[in-house]
Structures are given as C-alpha cells and as structure tokens.
Amino acid sequence: MGIFGWDDSNDAYQQYQNGGGQEHEGSKLHEFVGGAAAFEGFKLFEDHQRAEGKQVNHAFAKELVAGFAGAEAEKFAETRGLNEYDKIQARRHAEDSAQNMYSEHYEQNLGADQYDPQQYGGHDYIQNNYNNY
C-alpha cells in the first residue's frame, strides 16, 4: 500500500478510534496502525509546536513529527497485540507517513520556507476535528 497521505491516515485514525481495524489482514495491520499513529503523531506535533510558538526549519520539524508518530505507533501496536516485527513495521510506516504528511501540507501546499505556527494553520483535517488552531 505504501506511505500514507492525509486521507489514508485520517481514515485509519478514525477507524482506530472507533475500535476498527480488526478486518485488516496481518500483512496490512502494521500499515493500518502506522497510518493511525501518523495522524495522531502529527496532531501531537502540532499541539506541541503551537504551544511553544517557535519557528523551526523543515528538517527539524520532520524529525519531530516522525518522533511523535513513532511513539504513537508503539502505543497503538501494543493495544493491537502486534508482534515485534509488525511493531517495527508500524513504527516505520508511521514515521514515513507523518513526514510525508508534513511535506505535503507545509512544503508543497503552503510553500512555507519553515514551520511557523504563527503564520500557517494546521491541515484542514486537524483544524476541522480539533478546533484549536
């Protein structure tokens, strides 16, 4: 299936929050968990950075968003009972997908020269679901 973007990650996150995902085959479960974790990790990154209010360069922002997404993947994988291999795959998928989502929103769509929470809003999925940006 490959790296998730905003639509796939949001769908996986919504399914995960509603107890779904059991229907995914073992080979795809790590992608489902990783996609859900990418979305949640991106939300946590936005919360953290907007609270700090600091501008950061894109490379640093991508490392942060990957860290948040990877940590969420670990949590989500534990709740789904994934084996060690699938946990690692879910974490990688979450990190890669979150970085892809970051690039898509801030670099490609907004053309931002750096992450600036004072100048740019979060992605529509986050703004529409959480109303705090």
pLDDT in tens, 25-77: 555 777 888 888 998 999 999 999 999 999 999 999 999 999 999 999 999 89
> Is 100 domain-assigned?
yes
Helices within 1-133 (DSSP H only):
6-17, 26-52, 58-80, 84-102, 124-130
Residue 1 lies in a domain: no
Q: Which domain holds residue 48?
A: 6-13+26-126
Half-sphere exposure of 71 (CA within 13 A, CB side): 11
Q: Is residue 21 part of a domain?
A: no
> 1 vs 118, which has greater pLDDT?
118
Q: Residue 119: inside a domain, yes or no?
A: yes
Q: pLDDT tens across 79-130, in order?
A: 888 889 989 999 999 999 999 999 999 999 999 999 999 999 888 878 777 6
93 found inside a domain? yes
Instruction: Kindly report the pTM of this predicted structure.
Output: 0.79
Q: CA angle, 79 as apex, 78 and 82 as ends, to 5°? A: 50
Residue 131, domain member (yes or no)? no
